[in-house]
């Protein structure tokens, strides 16, 4: 996401400054002293993101670029980011005239880069648009402060240009392409469903059985053919313990999400085996078994209810 923005910015500058044949444009850490000085008579432009601040309006839906007619929406993180362009220019020799010519060349490079980034397509973010789901959308970019001072740590001549932008980022690939809703599959259940726990207190490493009442029947999986399939439950464990240390569901088969088990529903009572954490519980004394309807893809759907399981340390 942020890496894609940095790489795209470097690509924009590389394309826009292609006529400056002495200058190479690379992606790298902003303000870094690590890039080697360019060869005599050559210039180097290092493009990197320097910082970002999260904007407080976290949570809006974001239109995802999509070649299709339907555009899915997704929650994004708005942020302000700052980018820095570091210019290095090595004079062709050690004479004062060569140094002055190299400095003029460098200032022209900086001026042309600033002019390029002040163009309407870059300022509006249009130049950052990428095919597919890139995980970001740049909505604004502005050229800000330039520093024309020489860094004492560099033999090459130095200058820098700072930019500030606004963008929205999201995990790419988290949502597939949108589709038309051809049919609505209704499942009638009073919520929350009744969940009975055999043992309300389970010691570390022990297990108990939960019984989910009344959920059963079939659901529509193919509106075209009318094909149905038995209902299934997606069962997870919610806890203050890290995912790899919390209790687990022993029944059913692994779902498409980490920690989710898919269990076939039985209207007479669906039995679910819960096993408590085997290691140290620390201060945790309760975990919750959450019961969802399972989607046809094996993911968690509508939450039907949850049941608390009280925990105790293993017997001494």
Count other Cβ atoms within 10 Å, centred on residue 281. Answer: 22
Q: Report which of 211, 125, 204, 113 is spatially closest to residue 161, judged by C-alpha positions.
A: 113
Residues of each domain in the chain carrying CATH 2.60.40.4060: 195-312
CA 85, CA 45: separation in Å to the nearest integer? 7
pLDDT of residue 182: 62
Give the 3-state secondary structure of 81-112.
EEEEEEEEECCCCCCHHHHHHHHHHHHHHHHH
305 torsion bin: left (phi>0), alpha (psi -120 to 50), beta (else): left
Q: Report which of 162, 163, 124 is spatially closest to residue 140, judged by C-alpha positions.
A: 124
Is 3.40.50.150 the CATH classification of the domain at 2-169? Answer: no
As its CATH architecture, domain 195-312 has Sandwich (2.60)
CA 27, CA 48: separation in Å to the nearest integer? 6
DSSP state of 144: E
CA 115, CA 111: separation in Å to the nearest integer? 6
Q: Residue 227 in contact with residue 185, Cβ under 8 Å?
A: no
Residues of each domain in the chain carrying CATH 3.30.2000.10: 2-169
Q: Report which of 92, 97, 119, 96 is spatially closest to residue 38, judged by C-alpha positions.
A: 92
Q: Is the peptide bond before 201 cis (omega within 30 degrees of 0)?
A: no
Strand ranges across the sheet with 207-212? 195-197, 207-212, 270-275, 248-249
Q: At what angle do helices 2-16 and 96-117 cross, to 10 degrees?
A: 120
| Element spanning 117, H or E | helix 96-117
Q: Residue 77 in contact with residue 109, Cβ under 8 Å?
A: no
pLDDT of residue 7: 93
Question: What sign does the CA torsion over 100, 105, 108, 114 have?
Answer: negative
Q: In a structure prediction context, what are the per-residue pLDDT tens digits for the chain, which is 316 residues long?
A: 899 999 999 999 999 999 999 999 999 886 655 678 899 999 999 999 999 988 765 444 445 444 444 445 667 889 999 999 999 999 999 999 999 999 999 999 999 999 999 999 999 999 999 877 888 999 999 999 999 998 888 889 999 999 999 999 988 875 555 556 666 666 666 777 899 999 989 999 999 999 998 787 777 666 677 777 788 999 999 999 988 899 999 999 999 999 999 999 988 899 999 999 998 899 999 999 999 999 888 999 889 999 999 999 988 7
């Amino acid at each position: 996401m942020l890496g894609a923005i940095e790489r795209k910015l470097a690509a924009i500058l590389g394309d826009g400054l292609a006529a400056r044949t002495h200058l190479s444009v690379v992606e790298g850490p902003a303000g870094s002293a690590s890039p080697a000085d360019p060869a005599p008579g050559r210039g180097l432009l290092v493009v990197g993101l320097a910082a970002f601040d999260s904007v407080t309006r976290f949570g809006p839906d974001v239109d995802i670029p999509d070649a299709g007619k339907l555009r899915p929406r997704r929650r994004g993180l708005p942020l302000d980011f700052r980018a820095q362009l570091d210019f290095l220019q090595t004079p062709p020799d050690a004479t004062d005239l060569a140094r002055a010519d190299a400095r003029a060349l460098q200032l022209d490079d900086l001026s042309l880069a600033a002019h390029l980034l002040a163009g309407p397509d870059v300022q509006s973010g249009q130049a950052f648009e990428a095919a597919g789901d890139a995980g970001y959308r740049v909505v604004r970019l502005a050229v800000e402060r330039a520093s024309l001072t020489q860094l004492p740590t560099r033999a090459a001549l130095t200058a820098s240009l700072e930019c500030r932008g606004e963008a929205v980022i999201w995990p790419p690939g988290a949502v597939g392409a949108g589709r038309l809703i051809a049919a609505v599959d209704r499942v009638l259940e009073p919520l929350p469903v009744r969940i009975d726990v055999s043992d309300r207190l389970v010691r570390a490493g022990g297990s108990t059985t939960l019984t989910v009442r009344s959920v059963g029947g079939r659901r529509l999986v193919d509106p075209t053919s009318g094909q149905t399939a038995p209902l299934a439950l997606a069962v997870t464990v919610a806890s203050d313990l890290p995912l790899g240390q919390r209790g687990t569901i022993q029944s059913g088969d692994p779902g498409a999400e980490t920690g989710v088990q898919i269990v076939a529903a039985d209207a007479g009572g669906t039995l679910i085996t819960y096993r408590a954490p085997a290691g140290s519980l620390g201060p945790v004394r309760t975990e919750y078994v959450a019961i969802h309807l399972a989607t046809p893809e094996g993911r968690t759907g509508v939450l039907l209810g949850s049941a608390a399981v009280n925990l105790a340390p293993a017997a001494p």
